[in-house]
Amino acid sequence: MPELPEVETTRRGIAPHVCGRRIDGLIVRQRRLRWPVPADLGQHLEGRRIDAVGRRGKYLLLSLGTGTLIIHLGMSGSLRILRRPDPPGPHDHIDLLLEDETRLRFTDPRRFGAWLWSAGTAAQHPLLATLGPEPLETGFNAGHLHALARRRRSAVKSFIMNSRVVVGVGNIYANEALFRAGIHPARAAGRISLARYERLVEAIKTVLREAIDQGGTTLRDFVDGEGRPGYFRHNLQVYQRGAQDCPRCGAVIRESRIGQRSSYFCARCQR
């Protein structure tokens, strides 16, 4: 699933094709996603023009003036621009029909994604109301992390994957950022110094920026707005590299489960 870099790659890919365009219709072939697609969604969309494509965490936000179409890609979702109405595959659940025959097609084999409507601004929607800061903005800093972590005993990896702490950091980039920062993923969040949180914040920002530059990470499903995969997979240093050599020190990369998620780390470099 798409983490922040994949969602941002999608946003950048679709924005030029949908911004300013009028919505002519909505085809919902499968209503049962993470939540049911609202039965009246099409009525909110048809005839409206898309003003902007924004992002908050892993949520894509299509602003229509009268409200916001909120799209989440879940674990396996992707959005593509179609210039002609290609016949839908079994997991092509939704087409947003735009003027000039353009379509925005939503594909999601696992159906953990979501298409929701928010009247007014997206920030008012309950799903977005409790989200933490954006990792690439200044509100995300070591002081914020260090203060929030006080007395918390959960693993720092689970801590930075908590969307109330910071948005957009999923399993791949949590593993990669902790490796770059030299912090053991199982270390209690409340037992990390401010100085080490400085390193972690820098690592998170850097790894996310680099991944965005590479068009995200494609493990299986992810494609950008043009149907192309992301290439950051070649830059992963620990994720899915259990039993291989640590690229920094040569020790064997270890694999374990933390908070029910696969975790990869070098026990020599990360403390």
Q: Cite the active site residues.
A: 2-3, 58, 261
Residue by residue, what is the 3-state secondary structure of 24-90? EEEEECCCECCCECCCCHHHHHCCCECCEEEEECCEEEEECCCEEEEEECCCCCEEEEECCCCCCCC
Extract the tokens encoding 83. Answer: 């210039």
Please identify which residue in 52, 127, 136, 252 interacts with DNA, judged by CB under 7 A.
127
Binding letters toward DNA, positions 26-55, x by CB under 7 A: ------x-x---------------------
Please identify which residue in 106, 117, 222, 265 interacts with DNA, judged by CB under 7 A.
222
User: In the bound complex, what is the minimum distance in angstroms from residue 49's beta carbon to DNA?
Assistant: 27
- Does 110 bind DNA (CB under 7 A)? Our answer is yes
User: In the bound complex, what is the minimum distance in angstroms from residue 155's beta carbon to DNA?
Assistant: 7
CA distance 153 to 131: 21
Please identify which residue in 90, 138, 243, 250 interacts with DNA, judged by CB under 7 A.
90
Q: Are 125 and 50 in contact (CB under 8 A)?
A: no
Please identify which residue in 1, 69, 201, 204 interacts with DNA, judged by CB under 7 A.
1
- Does 259 bind DNA (CB under 7 A)? Our answer is yes
- Does 218 bind DNA (CB under 7 A)? Our answer is yes
Extract the tokens encoding 250. Answer: 């040569």
Please identify which residue in 220, 234, 243, 250 interacts with DNA, judged by CB under 7 A.
220
User: In the bound complex, what is the minimum distance in angstroms from residue 139's beta carbon to DNA?
Assistant: 18
| Percent of the chain as helix, strand, coil, to the nearest 5 | 30, 25, 45
Amino acid at 30: Q
Long-range contacts from 124-133, C-beta under 8 angstroms, 24+ separation:
125/68, 125/70, 127/59, 127/70, 128/56, 128/57, 128/59, 128/70, 130/163, 130/164, 131/56, 131/57, 131/163, 131/164, 131/167, 132/162, 132/163, 132/164, 132/165, 132/166, 132/167, 133/166, 133/167
Task: Determine which helix (DSSP H) or strand (DSSP E) holds 171, and give its type and residue range.
Answer: helix 171-181
CA distance 180 to 122: 34
Place of tokens 């990896």: 157
Q: For residues 198 and 255, which CB has a smaller minimum distance to DNA in the complex? A: 255
- Return the range that interacts with DNA (CB under 7 A); candidates 12-20, 106-114, 193-201, 203-211: 106-114
- Return the range that interacts with DNA (CB under 7 A); candidates 16-24, 61-69, 244-252, 255-263: 255-263
Please identify which residue in 104, 142, 155, 211 interacts with DNA, judged by CB under 7 A.
155
Please identify which residue in 91, 187, 209, 268 interacts with DNA, judged by CB under 7 A.
91
Binding letters toward DNA, positions 169-188, x by CB under 7 A: -xxx----------------
Which residues lie near DNA (CB under 7 A)? 1-3, 6, 32, 34, 57-58, 72, 74-76, 90-91, 109-112, 127, 151-155, 158-159, 161, 163, 170-172, 189-190, 216-222, 230, 259-262
